[in-house]
Amino acid sequence: MPNVSEKGKHMPASPIRKLVPYAEKAKQEGRKIYHLNIGQPDIETPSIMMDAIHNIGLKVVEYSHSAGIESYRRKLISYYQKYQIALGIEDIIVTTGGSEAIEIAMMSCLNEGDEIIIPEPFYANYNGFSIQAGVKVVPIFSSIKNGFALPPIEEFKKVITPKTKAIMICNPNNPTGYLYSKEELQSLKKLALDHDLFLFADEVYREFCYDDREYFSIMHLKDLDNNIVLVDSISKRYSACGARIGALISKNKEVMSVAMKFAQARLSPPTFGQIAAEAAIDTPDEYFQKVKSEYVARRNYVVEQLNSMEGVFCPKPSGAFYCMAQLPIDDSDKFCQWLLEKFNHNGQTVMLAPATGFYSKPELGRKEVRIAYVLNLEDLKHAMECLREALLIYPGRAVENPREAVSQ
């Protein structure tokens, strides 16, 4: 029998989705599951998007331009202007979700064997994309102790080698919810210039910044145009994960020229998704104000409940809709599986994402989980009740005072 590829063997399973078979079995047994494991909001997609889909009058579903429908790209320019980001149509390539934007960015800017520095914990699929591109991820540890702030620049300098080609951040961050400050991004700018590195930023959660914190984009950094590559997506902005529309953005003309070759190779992004995304740009501000207010209420409730549980510590995130919590458990993979296999509280349980998949070394996330507060408050109340009860009876409970001994 022929052997599968080495890349395939090294491709990591999704830490967010690997527990799905256990969840399916739990549902077959009649238990209700509160899904806090994945960033799939229950917020309604804007009606303006749905209307655009319902009213599509196409006779033929054609390929679009490989860079995306021109009218959509021109309309995107006006969207970014609202955030003081000035772009031309040539600076934007529409992609099949933010995922493809990351893949194309890595393949356009890095050679096989090159290294990209990413603060961890990081979105697990960055590992998968890097393996596809033949790129090595070099992690820089950020700690739950200070809410996962950007590690000191000296830590970055320690791991820079002749093969280092880029730094990547997610801002606001998935999985931590941390929002990088202007000062932190300025320090990365200096590092990128001093060492001639690309600076990638995944900014798909820009609409979700809380506590009057300012959203500061890498596109706001001056004199760095040739180093910057921005990744974006409509998935979380409009609660439209299934539309699969993202964008790769850079003012580096050579990067965009190369990226266009990869865009042409995959022909074009989805037509229906682009039509919906173009309509979505006219979503009224009231929609985002309401959604943001809802997420703040959800965050406040979840973080307050977590920190009221014995042995649990959760820093308060300032962006996105995730938080990382340290639990009094022996192993987050075992615990999350146990919740689905063994635990039952009034016919209910909760599904969480073990943090092991968000770190380069699984042991770093053994006591942590990522929680996506993407459900309505009533469901979150039931979910937190389930988690509280589960922690009291979990066989692998390991009690300690998290305020005295925060992980790592």
- The position carrying tokens 């458990």 is 329
Average pLDDT over residues 252-262: 98
Q: What's the CATH number for 6-44+286-393?
A: 3.90.1150.10
Q: Report the candidate in 212, 376, 386, 232 with the shortest Cα–Cα distance to residue 301.
A: 376
Residue type, 66: S
Q: What is the tens place of the pLDDT at every residue in 14-61? A: 766 789 999 999 999 999 999 999 999 999 999 999 999 999 999 999
Question: From CA 150, how far away is CA 164, in angstroms rounded?
Answer: 19
pLDDT in tens, 302-359: 999 999 999 999 999 999 999 999 999 999 999 999 999 999 999 999 999 999 999 9
Closest CA to 243 of 345, 405, 353, 99: 99
CATH number among 2.40.30.10, 3.40.640.10, 3.90.79.10, 3.20.20.80, domain 47-280:
3.40.640.10
Query: pLDDT band at 398, cuts 50/70/90?
Result: confident
Q: Does residue 401 carry a pLDDT above 60?
A: no
Q: What is the pLDDT of residue 402?
A: 47
Size of the chain in residues? 408
Backbone angles phi, psi at 161, to 5 degrees: -130, 175
Residue spans of the domains in the chain: they are: 6-44+286-393, 47-280
CB atoms within 10 A of CB 334: 16
The CB density around residue 64, as the number of other CB atoms within 10 Å, is 18
